[in-house]
Amino acid sequence: MAFLTEIPRVGVLTVEAPDRAPIASPLWYTVEPDGSITFSVGPSSQKARLLRASKRATLCVQSEALPYVYVSVSGPIDDIGSASDDARRERAHRYLGAELGEAYFLSTREEPEATFVLRPQRWASADYNKEFA
């Protein structure tokens, strides 16, 4: 859990897709106080449609520097409705800093977003720092 929250990292969300390989795409996420993970996507996007259909997903988050660390969480997904301005602003500030985050928030504020919550049931991780210690 500490790895997911200590610094902003982009996660890669993977969701099942019928008649093809799973869809994987990067996104910003927030770990909520109860340990669930929220993220927002376009409400009519392919990703949103697949999430609503499969009702499960996997999020993988990795470090960008050697030695690598990653955490992967899988579990059920729920659509919890439109993203609030407060949540959108907070996430933009977390990933882009106050000034650029505010500019990003204001420039995308009118674009609709659906918020989903992932409730982790399965965890996998590796910390290659331990291999080189």
pLDDT at position 75, please?
98
Domain that holds residue 75: 2-131
pLDDT higher than threshold 70 for residue 12: yes
pLDDT tens figures, 75-92: 999 999 998 999 999 999
pLDDT tens figures, 29-52: 999 999 999 999 999 999 999 999
pLDDT at position 128, please?
86
C-alpha–C-alpha distance, residues 17 and 99, integer Å: 37
Number of structural domains, the chain? 1
For 1, how many CA atoms within 13 A lie in the half-sphere containing its CB?
10
pLDDT at position 23, please?
95
pLDDT higher than threshold 90 for residue 130: no
String of DSSP letters for 34-64: TS-EEEEE-TTSHHHHHHHHH-EEEEEEE-S
Specify the pTM.
0.91
CATH number for position 117: 2.30.110.10
